Amino acid sequence: MIPLSASLARVRPSPTVAASQRARELIAAGRDVISLSAGEPDFDTPRHVKDAAIAALEGGKTKYTAPDGIPELKAAIAAKFRRENGLDYAREEITVGSGGKQVIFNALMATLNPGDEVVIPAPYWVSYPDIVRLAGAEPVIVETEMAAGFKLAPAALEAAITPRTRWVLLNSPGNPSGAGYGRAELAALAEVLLRHEQVLVLADDIYEHIAYEGFTFATPAEVAPRLRDRTLTLNGVSKAYAMTGWRIGYAGGPAELIAAMGKLQSQSTTCPAALSQWAAVAALEGPQDFLAEARAAYRRRRDLVVERLNAIPGVACPVPEGAFYVYPSIAGLIGRTTAGGRRIGSDQDFTDALLEEQGVAAVFGAAFGLSPHFRVSYATSDAVLEDACARIAAFVGGMR
Ligand code: PLP
């Protein structure tokens, strides 16, 4: 047996990656499975982005780059922050990593020590608590309520902060709930944060461009400029431009933090992939029509899924403000028994039985820290969503 590190022992494998993998295995074994578990756009990367990568390849841009991003990409990111968020970041206040996930990893690893606490509202993106644990610190989970739109209340934030709190992780629009904080809601949270100078703020804005009518995206550093010097404003090209496999994420933040993150990156991946960085320059500087087209498709799919799921007795599905997930409650189904004889005692029982009996893969709520729910990713075609919702309805309809 190979002895593993104590830090790895504190970490779970990503449940969303595991759910997608299980679906892939069943499909490979010939089962008729629909996967609603992946958090990635089903669209292809825009043509002009691919062309930029091909040109970079042909032009010999195939070598190591500066550890935290080529100057051209940093300039494109600075322009993006100015144009879309009203934020001015200098080059030394910008970092680029191999996906938003690595940027978050760098930020937490660079700043956390054993005994430190990180406030994470639930439901949360699955990786937050595990990265915090890997860094030796403690996640402090604050559950939100569906009735309150899955949003962290200022009083709950205040109650969760202690002298040991180093970070608060905010994600809007959020994975898995799709909940988005408006300006006034961010301002109210900022009022609390301004009272606690030791707390850094992660604004995970990765779903910024997937936001629907009635909700206007805003980001903490812009809403509360006094928080700017302790806020890391995180974004990336994965979700916005259908570029999950290119692995480019970025952030703006205080130069000292950005330098520390760059140091860590120089000793891990060395730099993000050069070709992907050139592709990201094209995504940020090129035509932006893709964003509106994708948003319109997601909006149509959101409405379809919400309507179909709410028509199922025992399922309650709020309307999300953004991202491409719904996070319905199945409180009304706990204690029931499926047509296949499985008793539903938890949301994991629900998603396990749904996969076995109807071939629909979704992710159980406990993975995101708030039960009893399940997450459906609707970043797939309308036809697939219709089929999946019909199967979920049949599954619930067969319960005793
Ligand atoms: N933040 C959230 C909330 C996410 O859902 C994801 C991806 O699922 C990421 C960050 C990281 O995305 P990437 O590493 O592809 O940039």
CATH code for the domain of 223:
3.40.640.10
Q: Please give the share of the chain, as a percent, with pLDDT higher than 70.
A: 100
Q: Give CA angle at 325 (321, 330), nearest 5°.
A: 105
Q: Is the pLDDT of residue 17 over 90?
A: no
Does residue 175 have its Cβ closer than 6 Å to ligand 1? yes
The Cβ of residue 220 has, within 10 Å, a number of other Cβ atoms equal to 26
Q: Residue 53 falls within a domain, yes or no? A: no
Does residue 14 have its Cβ closer than 6 Å to ligand 1? no
Domain span at residue 30 reads 6-44+290-397
Does residue 203 have its Cβ closer than 6 Å to ligand 1? no
Q: What is the mean pLDDT of the chain?
A: 96
Per residue in 175-217, pLDDT (tens digit) is: 999 999 999 999 999 999 999 999 999 999 999 999 999 999 9
Asked if 261 and 377 sit in the same domain, the reply is: no
CATH code: domain of residue 31 = 3.90.1150.10
Q: Residue 271 falls within a domain, yes or no? A: yes
Q: Residue 54 falls within a domain, yes or no? A: no
What are the distances in angstroms from CA 201 to CA 169, 228, 309? 6, 9, 35
Dump the DSSP string for 251-285.
EE--HHHHHHHHHHHHTTTSSS-HHHHHHHHHHHH
Per residue in 382-392, pLDDT (tens digit) is: 999 999 999 99
Asked if 217 and 197 sit in the same domain, the reply is: yes
Number of domain units in the chain = 2
Asked if 33 and 148 sit in the same domain, the reply is: no
Closest CA relative to residue 121, chosen from 146, 96, 98, 94: 146
Residue with CA at minimum distance from ligand 1 atom 8: 39
**Cα–ligand 1 centroid distance for 343 (angstroms):** 33
Among residues 249, 265, 285, the one where a domain terminates is 285
Asked if 266 and 351 sit in the same domain, the reply is: no
**Cα–ligand 1 centroid distance for 232 (angstroms):** 15
Asked if 193 and 275 sit in the same domain, the reply is: yes
Query: What atom in ligand 1 is closest to the CA of residue 174?
Result: 3
Q: Residue 1 falls within a domain, yes or no? A: no
Per residue in 29-53, pLDDT (tens digit) is: 999 999 998 889 999 999 999 999 9
Neighbouring residues of 178: CB distance < 8 A, sequence distance ≥ 6: 302, 320, 321, 322, 323, 324, 325, 326, 327
Asked if 188 and 316 sit in the same domain, the reply is: no
> 250 near 103, Cβ under 8 Å?
yes
Among residues 285, 309, 336, the one where a domain terminates is 285
Asked if 155 and 272 sit in the same domain, the reply is: yes
Asked if 278 and 303 sit in the same domain, the reply is: no
Per residue in 245-288, pLDDT (tens digit) is: 999 999 999 999 999 999 999 999 999 999 999 999 999 999 99
Q: Residue 37 falls within a domain, yes or no? A: yes
Does residue 236 have its Cβ closer than 6 Å to ligand 1? yes
Q: Residue 126 falls within a domain, yes or no? A: yes
Among residues 285, 319, 352, the one where a domain terminates is 285
Q: How far apart are CA 241 and CA 70, in angstroms?
A: 19
Asked if 240 and 141 sit in the same domain, the reply is: yes
Q: Residue 102 falls within a domain, yes or no? A: yes
Asked if 189 and 86 sit in the same domain, the reply is: yes
Asked if 84 and 143 sit in the same domain, the reply is: yes
Asked if 265 and 174 sit in the same domain, the reply is: yes
pTM: 0.96
Q: Residue 51 falls within a domain, yes or no? A: no
